Structure 1
Amino acid sequence: VTFGGQISDEVAEQLMTIAYENGVNLFDTAEVYSAGNLLIKLSFFLFLSFFLSFFLSLSFSRAETERGLSRKHIIEGLKGSLQRLQLEYVDVVFANRPDSNTPMEEIVRAMTHVINHGMSMYWGTSRWSAMEIMEAYSVARQFNLIPPVCEQAEYHLFQRDKVEMQLPELYHKIGVGVVSWSPLACGIVTGKYENGIPESSRASLKSYQWLKEKILSEDGRKQQAKLKELTHIAEKLSCTLPQLAIAWCLRNEGVSSVLLGTSNPAQLTENLGAIQVLPKITAIVASDIDKILGNRPQSKKDYHH
């Protein structure tokens, strides 16, 4: 949405340079993203995601084997992406969204194939349920194939259940880590929607009408009220609300990495400052945040601390 949609190539390159210079070594690209041409200039640790049909251009006119997670699409799609990126391999290839039209064994065998042929080092999942990840792991163990190593999941102050309730068993049983996305909830957590929808914001885009409706809803207004309270905690810790939100995500033991999406250098520099805030989020601070949010999932075992 941002790269190739809302910002110029020059700004995008500037952002990626700032990220790299500040120690970021993980970049997320995909078959449908516009930022691939910029990544060619920068030799980075890359992700590559596979999207199901409705994320691919002209996908509804494609054959079944040219979309989703079929063996043909995984192998040919990855080869095509590597050619465009001018890379020999990526570090992790993601299967984005489960594909009910393809047997799990076929998906796991195809991922094992691309790893064995040097096109990727590992594979992971995105938006898969804990049960689907466990199925992939079981298939891999049954046929001596390679299981997934991580799950890309939405995680932020207002979206906690999956990462805190459903996935902890996988962290501890099979070692799957979480690469979390949308730590600022499409910008909601920044507080910029406190007084409505700014013209340049994502929620003002036609394709993001759902986000606009969400912000203006009763729940959306309640969230803004909670964010106002959280601002006081951020002030006590001498940080901004976005920095607090990102550090809060990083604090979860199962979260290996947090994906940031930024549209200008100042925003990126601010977000990267969350690393300094992380040690300040003590158990007491985390408890204060939980009290304000009122949405902490109840589990038998507390994996959060």
Structure 2
Amino acid sequence: GTWVTFGGQISDEVAEQLMTIAYENGVNLFDTAEVYSAGKPSFLVDLDAVLDSLSHQPNKLYSEYKKTCTFSYAFSLCFLSVGLKGSLQRLQLEYVDVVFANRPDSNTPMEEIVRAMTHVINHGMSMYWGTSRWSAMEIMEAYSVARQFNLIPPVCEQAEYHLFQRDKVEMQLPELYHKIGVGVVSWSPLACGIVTGKYENGIPESSRASLKSYQWLKEKILSEDGRKQQAKLKELTHIAEKLSCTLPQLAIAWCLRNEGVSSVLLGTSNPAQLTENLGAIQVLPKITAIVASDIDKILGNRPQSKKDYHH
């Protein structure tokens, strides 16, 4: 899940190092897409790993698809098939384990999206399909359409989830965990680096927030809410120290603790950072109900579920 750094901030050599460290440490989910690094995943080819591919209407490849497809819907059968075949050729793979529909497409009827996903699975290009940044209602609609027409429903949703972004994963999606078995592949566990504490004294030059395209992140960090978040992170550091771990490890383990979260996508820019983040697995058993309650008290943003109102 290093969509910002791979092909942009780091070299292919470092990228390959990161992939190798992840693979050797048991990571078996690598998140890629046809538009990441302009479609050049050279360092992925030699790894026998689980891959998912986010299919959507990419700007750079759009004109090429227009020549092939009569309909220009982002999730039409033609667009999806052409895009996924291209991804598989570049990855030198016969199939991916999961293909994701990235962002809902209001121009394409839901039935066509579900039929398109069912088609690529039935033709051996993918084993399953999932959604990314879809609402619970949209996921439920896809599931209902699949059941109505005997098609294949989505199995997971990619959702942003971290200490300061909790509502969707903790409030909107739990119904789906239990009713239709949809799991969450969460992303941005460190909130674009905010949770690491590195922005406590401003914006470091080598950080993501220093990039021109991430001006919005810089403004967010320097805002009043951003300063309040840094103050809370300072308090959370004391909990991390008691558990003999770092703040990033605590934050990632906290995400993994959620029953609906099947996997957490990490985004790292150097080997030391990745090794530290992978250490979150050892921290997970240390986050007891008491520790989780202490974290909630500091954050003050725990969503109120229906059962909280019953006595």
In structure 2, distance between residues paired with 1:52 and 1:9 = 27
> Alpha-carbon deviations, 1:75-124, whole Å to 9, x = none?
11101110111100000000000000000000000000000000000000
Q: Is the 8 A contact 1:3 1:35 kept in 2?
A: no
What is the CA-CA distance between 1:35 and the residue it aligns to?
A: 8.4
What is the CA-CA distance between 1:301 and the residue it aligns to?
A: 3.0
Q: What's the RMSD between the two structures over aligned residues? A: 3.6
Would the alpha carbon gap of residues 185 and 90 (structure 1) be closer, same or farther in structure 2, given more than 3 Å must change? same
Would the alpha carbon gap of residues 85 and 231 (structure 1) be closer, same or farther in structure 2, given more than 3 Å must change? same
Using the aligned pairs only, state the percent identity: 92
Would the alpha carbon gap of residues 40 and 198 (structure 1) be closer, same or farther in structure 2, given more than 3 Å must change? same
Q: Is the 8 A contact 1:51 1:97 kept in 2?
A: no
In structure 2, the partner of 1:276 is 282
Q: Is the 8 A contact 1:29 1:35 kept in 2?
A: no
Q: Is the 8 A contact 1:89 1:120 kept in 2?
A: yes
Would the alpha carbon gap of residues 11 and 23 (structure 1) be closer, same or farther in structure 2, given more than 3 Å must change? same
What is the CA-CA distance between 1:41 and the residue it aligns to?
A: 1.9
In structure 2, distance between residues paired with 1:130 and 1:225 = 32
Q: Is the 8 A contact 2:114 2:145 kept in 1?
A: yes
- Name the TM-score, length of structure 1 as normaliser: 0.90
Q: Is the 8 A contact 1:226 1:293 kept in 2?
A: yes
What is the CA-CA distance between 1:300 and the residue it aligns to?
A: 1.1
Q: Is the 8 A contact 1:45 1:91 kept in 2?
A: yes
Would the alpha carbon gap of residues 304 and 232 (structure 1) be closer, same or farther in structure 2, given more than 3 Å must change? farther
Would the alpha carbon gap of residues 5 and 106 (structure 1) be closer, same or farther in structure 2, given more than 3 Å must change? same
What is the CA-CA distance between 1:55 and the residue it aligns to?
A: 16
> Alpha-carbon deviations, 1:225-283, whole Å to 9, x = none?
00000000000000000000000000000000000000000000000000000000000
**Of 288, 291, 300, the match for 1:294:** 300
What is the CA-CA distance between 1:50 and the residue it aligns to?
A: 12
Give the number of aligned pairs.
293
> Alpha-carbon deviations, 1:54-89, whole Å to 9, x = none?
9999999999xxxxxxxxxx1111011101111000
> Alpha-carbon deviations, 1:124-175, whole Å to 9, x = none?
0000000000000000000000000000000000000000000000000000
In structure 1, the partner of 2:152 is 146
In structure 1, distance between residues paired with 2:281 and 2:68 = 37
Would the alpha carbon gap of residues 34 and 160 (structure 1) be closer, same or farther in structure 2, given more than 3 Å must change? same
In structure 2, distance between residues paired with 1:265 and 1:215 = 25
Q: Is the 8 A contact 2:94 2:125 kept in 1?
A: yes
4+ residue runs over 6 A deviation: 49-63, 302-305
In structure 2, distance between residues paired with 1:145 and 1:153 = 24
> Alpha-carbon deviations, 1:2-25, whole Å to 9, x = none?
001000000000000000000000
In structure 2, distance between residues paired with 1:303 and 1:149 = 30
Q: Is the 8 A contact 1:180 1:255 kept in 2?
A: yes
Q: Is the 8 A contact 1:153 1:179 kept in 2?
A: yes
Would the alpha carbon gap of residues 107 and 269 (structure 1) be closer, same or farther in structure 2, given more than 3 Å must change? same
Structure 1 unpaired stretches of 5+: 64-73
Shifted more, 237-246 versus 26-35: the winner is 26-35
In structure 1, distance between residues paired with 2:299 and 2:44 = 38
Would the alpha carbon gap of residues 2 and 55 (structure 1) be closer, same or farther in structure 2, given more than 3 Å must change? farther
Q: Is the 8 A contact 1:32 1:57 kept in 2?
A: no
Could you say what secondary structure the match of 1:51 adopts? helix
**Of 5, 24, 28, the match for 1:25:** 28
Could you say what secondary structure the match of 2:192 adopts? coil
